[in-house]
């Protein structure tokens, strides 16, 4: 398995990198829903208010009517918010934790 990505999985890494670079965020995420649609987000904060990248990506999927996820990619985080992913998508969804450059650091599932 290693660090090889399918074309569709590589697209999610690219989307997450783009979301991060647009606002120079510390972290970014992208998800693919069960219909093949992709959503991305970057962490944002103002004062005491903070939303993580995965929260934004999942919120966008929910707002678009997604009923589940096929894959989540998270860049620049030490620990992925699995509770949020499980609450929305259930158990068994693949997750890639990557460096900000897109290198796969860890593969696991919800």
What confidence tens digit (pLDDT) does each residue in 52-107 have? 999 999 999 999 999 999 999 999 999 998 899 999 999 999 999 999 999 999 99
Would the pTM of this model clear 0.75, i.e. be above it? yes
The CATH class of 7-109 is alpha beta
Q: Which helix (H) or strand (E) holds 58?
A: helix 53-63
Contacts of 74 (CB under 8 A, 6+ apart): 16, 27, 28, 29, 53, 54, 80, 95, 96, 97, 98
**Domain spans, the chain:** 7-109
Contacts of 60 (CB under 8 A, 6+ apart): 39, 40, 41
């Amino acid at each position: 398995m290693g660090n090889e990505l399918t074309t569709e999985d590589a697209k999610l890494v690219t989307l997450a990198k783009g979301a991060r670079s647009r606002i120079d965020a510390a972290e970014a995420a992208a998800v693919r829903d069960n219909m093949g649609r992709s959503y991305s987000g970057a962490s944002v904060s103002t004062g005491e208010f903070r939303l993580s990248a995965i929260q934004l990506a999942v919120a966008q999927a929910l707002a678009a009517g997604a009923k589940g996820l096929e894959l989540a990619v998270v860049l620049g985080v030490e620990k992925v918010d699995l509770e949020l992913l499980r609450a929305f998508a259930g158990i068994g969804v693949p997750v890639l934790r990557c460096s900000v450059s897109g290198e796969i650091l860890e593969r696991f599932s919800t």
